Amino acid sequence: MSTPTPLLQVEDLKKHFAVPSGPFRPRNWLRAVDGVSFDIARGETLSLVGESGCGKSTVGRTILRLLPPTSGRLTLDGQRIDTLPQSQMRLLRKRMQVVFQDPFSSLNPRMTVRGILADPMINFGLVRSRAEIDARVATLLDKVRLPADAARRYPHEFSGGQRQRISIARALAPGADLIVCDEAVSALDVSVKAQIVNLLSDLQAELGLALLFISHDLAIVEHMTHRVAVMYLGKIVEIADRRTLFSRPRHPYTRALLSAVPVPDPKAKRQRIVLTGDVPSPLNPPSGCAFHTRCPYAFDRCRVEGPALRPRASGQLAACHLDDLPPV
């Protein structure tokens, strides 16, 4: 599933970790990300969702080259970045920034907000004078809707939501056009979550940002994303535009995740599908379809043959042998 002018292209990305298994035994491989492909256009949000441990954060960190990819191809604005040495990658980092989950630990407590925002501008050589720094810091604070006097205060003087605004301003400071939001609102209260999501949407509309929004919370994703990719055990099992995914999921795992999302209208209650069993270990994934140990519709073929991610009539790509799901 491709977008017209992708800013970021991810092709068959793999990130495997070697796990020691003891003397005289072959090394085990943890396949955290195992052949993931998608792209994101300017001004678009793609949400990467799935349970904890499915590999979604590893995808984000590998795209940012905080982790070296095992294989695959990463392209930013037409330039291949998976093979770039770290020295050249450093220059590109100003275009790819991250907002992490925990605004309490991701901001340096000894720096004022001015210092935190000035740091990337200075590191990337974007400013020439104190006056220029002050002007840019004031503009950034205004963009994230913090008062101008926030510049001389320290992170501990702010609430969680305000700190996340500072993290977003820091991501914007070097002029990023792709921001990876790694569970960026997960630690916040519901009302604060909505404020931060609205802020991100407004900034996206104003600046044409591409957002990779990594989250386990489909209720939040439903209100802010353009497309959704669902991950299970290191692979994308379904990818679709928001409306299609939420109205006509074609993968049993997506359907189960959606069944847990609360609906505002009590009469339109979704029937909850409770998955039995734990997520299998990516060190020893099940044969065939990795979801077969928990899938309510699994049949013999599922245990021996892994399904390909293939297009469906309703528009999405889904990795399931079934052409359509049985009614709930």
Residue 42 parent element (H or E): none
Q: Which of 120, 137, 291, 316 binds ligand SF4 (CB under 6 A)?
A: 291
Residues with Cβ within 8 Å of residue 139, at least 6 apart in sequence: none
261 or 322, CB closer to ligand SF4? 322
Q: From 38-46, 160-168, 270-278, 297-305, give the range in contact with ligand SF4 by CB under 6 A.
A: 297-305
Q: Which of 4, 10, 43, 19 shows the shortest CA–CA distance to 282?
A: 19
Largest Cα span, the chain: 69
Q: Which of 103, 252, 282, 285 binds ligand SF4 (CB under 6 A)?
A: 252
Q: From 104-112, 150-158, 175-183, 289-297, give the range in contact with ligand SF4 by CB under 6 A.
A: 289-297
35 or 160, CB closer to ligand SF4? 35
49 or 196, CB closer to ligand SF4? 49
Q: From 9-17, 143-151, 285-293, 309-317, give the range in contact with ligand SF4 by CB under 6 A.
A: 285-293
Contact between 246 and ligand SF4 per CB under 6 A: no
Q: From 60-68, 171-179, 257-265, 294-302, give the range in contact with ligand SF4 by CB under 6 A.
A: 294-302
Contact between 322 and ligand SF4 per CB under 6 A: yes
Least distance (Å) between residue 315 CB and ligand SF4 = 18
Contact between 233 and ligand SF4 per CB under 6 A: no
The answer to whether the beta carbons of residues 244 and 314 sit under 8 Å apart is yes
Q: Which of 295, 309, 316, 317 binds ligand SF4 (CB under 6 A)?
A: 295
Residue with the two structure tokens 């003891």 = 22
Contact between 320 and ligand SF4 per CB under 6 A: yes
The answer to whether the beta carbons of residues 297 and 325 sit under 8 Å apart is yes
Q: Can you tell me whether residue 161 is helix, strand or coil?
A: helix
Q: What is the DSSP letter of 217?
A: -
Strands 235-241 and 317-318: what pairing?
antiparallel
Q: From 106-114, 165-173, 203-211, 318-326, give the range in contact with ligand SF4 by CB under 6 A.
A: 318-326
Token reading at 286: 């099940």
- Angle 202-194-181 (CA atoms, 0-180°, nearest 5)? 70
Contact between 292 and ligand SF4 per CB under 6 A: yes
Question: Does the CA dihedral 82-88-89-94 come out positive or negative?
Answer: negative
The one-letter amino acid code at 238 reads E
Q: Which of 43, 36, 15 shows the shortest CA–CA distance to 227?
A: 43
Contact between 307 and ligand SF4 per CB under 6 A: yes
Task: Name beta bridge partners: 10.
Answer: 38, 74
152 or 303, CB closer to ligand SF4? 303
The residues that touch ligand SF4, with contacts defined as CB under 6 A, are 252, 289, 291-292, 295, 297-298, 302, 307, 320-322
